[in-house]
Amino acid sequence: MEKINGILNTDTVAFADFKSHDGEVVSIKGYIHRVREMTGFSFVIIRTARDTIQCVYSPDFSDYRWDEKLCEEACVKVTGKVVSSKDAKGNDRYELQIHNIEILSLPAEGLPIVINKKQLDNIQLSTILDLRPVAMRNPKERAIFKIQEGIARGFREYLMQNGFTEIRSPKINYAGAEGGTNVFKLDYFGKQVYLAQSPQLYKQAMVGVYQRVFEIAPVFRAEHHDTSRHLNEYTSMDLEMGFINGFEDIMNTEVGVLKYIMNLLKTEYAEEVALAHVDIPEITEIPVMKFMDAKELLMTKFKYKPSDMKDFDPAEEELLGKYAKKELGSDFIFITHYPSKKRPFYTMDDPADPEYTLSFDLLFRGLEITSGGQRIHDYKEQVEKMIKLGTNPEEFETYLMLHKYGAPPHGGLGIGLERLTMHLLGAKNVRETTMFPRDINRVTP
């Protein structure tokens, strides 16, 4: 009887292992990315999952003769001899002298756009998004999302090393956690429910169990406006921690997370970082400024007339980003103590001045990428705040179980993954760093 043992029978060698196969005949599988005909030979670039490998076809190397059916985006198995040389900087370089090409499949049609340049040149963002499944085959495009993988991986790794438990909360919810109007309503067998605006209610509940939890998952916001920073579905990297001494613990955790992520990108994503021209910020310490001090600064130093004294508009965030960079030498700045009226019901008011909260946002190069803060843990206090803000505590009975049956002082944060990637790459639009964006005008592909 045939049995399956979990060991893949690979007949190929990874590009990273070419060094140990120097001079040997090996096989690789991938797409024909590009063919460049020279006099007497051709360069055949094979695109594998993460590399583009230079192969050389010449009738001199073997009896193999070029098959005229071969074309760009054909899936092939190439067998050949690994040959090493030195590049201009003296680094080792490996290529494959082709002995054989086996066609595994052929495309039905030619590509609608040129993907085999280093980056997609002169193609509108809407076209790139329409053609995402193939546009992503471009090396720079795919590098963006490999970097995004690195960010989420760094978040997970760092937190797991620091005693956090990964949770999965439901995306079909009985109530919106963040207030406001941007909640998607859903008919659930005749009952009205909501798509999760955030995992807020559940991550807090799980603090009562695991003390430190995190989740990386999609959240949904019914934003009705079409901006370069808003999506209707985005990935939220959330954490929540109990037994804190204050909301500074949350900010310290975020600084630790960010340092870890940036280091991971430098070490394990160096090629993608170079390809996507990522400017990795140096993080030692992140400056902190109170909300009202920031408003004051905007009005005095920048002569800015705020339209809203309870929040920042994008222009204000940009100015604060410039100030942080120029005057404080930091790509990031924490803004703390946001007005109580603008923060959700779970936010703890500052005992020293209840008009303001023990909350913060983190701006990265002038864009809000995180909100966080300390939460109310006392049952009576939470119920009272809900009533004050016009929220019916009865609707949140199960959420309030945490408070009713004992909650530690706790707090947490949520980071928008696509926004962080956007400003890391210096992209102008958050859609550029969203694999399949959902916005007011787009639900495909």
Write out the residues near ligand AMO by the rule CB under 6 A: 178, 198, 200, 221, 223, 230-231, 234, 236, 238, 368-373, 412-414, 416, 418-419, 430
Q: How far apart are CA 270 and CA 234, in angstroms?
A: 26
Measured from the CB of residue 427, what is the shortest distance to ligand AMO in angstroms? 13
Nearer to ligand AMO, 221 or 377 (CB): 221
Q: How far apart are CA 235 and CA 219, in angstroms?
A: 6
Measured from the CB of residue 338, what is the shortest distance to ligand AMO in angstroms? 10
> Which helix (H) or strand (E) segment is 32 a member of?
strand 25-37
319-327 contacts at long range (C-beta below 8 A, 24 or more positions apart): 319/366, 320/289, 320/294, 320/363, 320/366, 321/363, 321/364, 321/365, 321/366, 321/367, 322/366, 323/297, 324/287, 324/363, 325/365
Nearer to ligand AMO, 33 or 410 (CB): 410
Measured from the CB of residue 276, what is the shortest distance to ligand AMO in angstroms? 20
Burial class (CB in 10 A: 0-12, 13-18, 19+), 327: exposed
Q: Measuring CA to CA, which residue among 153, 155, 169, 163 is closest to residue 206? A: 169
Nearer to ligand AMO, 146 or 410 (CB): 410
Maximal CA-CA distance, the chain: 84
Nearer to ligand AMO, 116 or 433 (CB): 433
Measured from the CB of residue 272, what is the shortest distance to ligand AMO in angstroms? 22
Measured from the CB of residue 274, what is the shortest distance to ligand AMO in angstroms? 26
Measured from the CB of residue 203, what is the shortest distance to ligand AMO in angstroms? 7
Nearer to ligand AMO, 70 or 222 (CB): 222
Nearer to ligand AMO, 80 or 373 (CB): 373
Measured from the CB of residue 174, what is the shortest distance to ligand AMO in angstroms? 16
Measured from the CB of residue 232, what is the shortest distance to ligand AMO in angstroms? 7
Tell me the residue nearest to ligand AMO as measured from the CB.
Answer: 416
Q: Measuring CA to CA, which residue among 265, 289, 291, 288 is closest to residue 278? A: 265
Tokens of 128: 């790139």
Nearer to ligand AMO, 95 or 368 (CB): 368
Q: How far apart are CA 198 and CA 201, in angstroms?
A: 8
CA distances to 107, 220, 409 from 224, rounded to whole Å, are: 39, 12, 35
Q: How far apart are CA 173 and CA 185, in angstroms?
A: 10
Nearer to ligand AMO, 32 or 367 (CB): 367
Measured from the CB of residue 256, what is the shortest distance to ligand AMO in angstroms? 16
Q: Measuring CA to CA, which residue among 420, 363, 375, 412 is closest to residue 250? A: 412
Nearer to ligand AMO, 78 or 358 (CB): 358
In SS3 terms, 93-138 reads as EEEEEEEEEEEEECCCCCCCCCCCCCCCCCCCHHHHHHCHHHHCCC
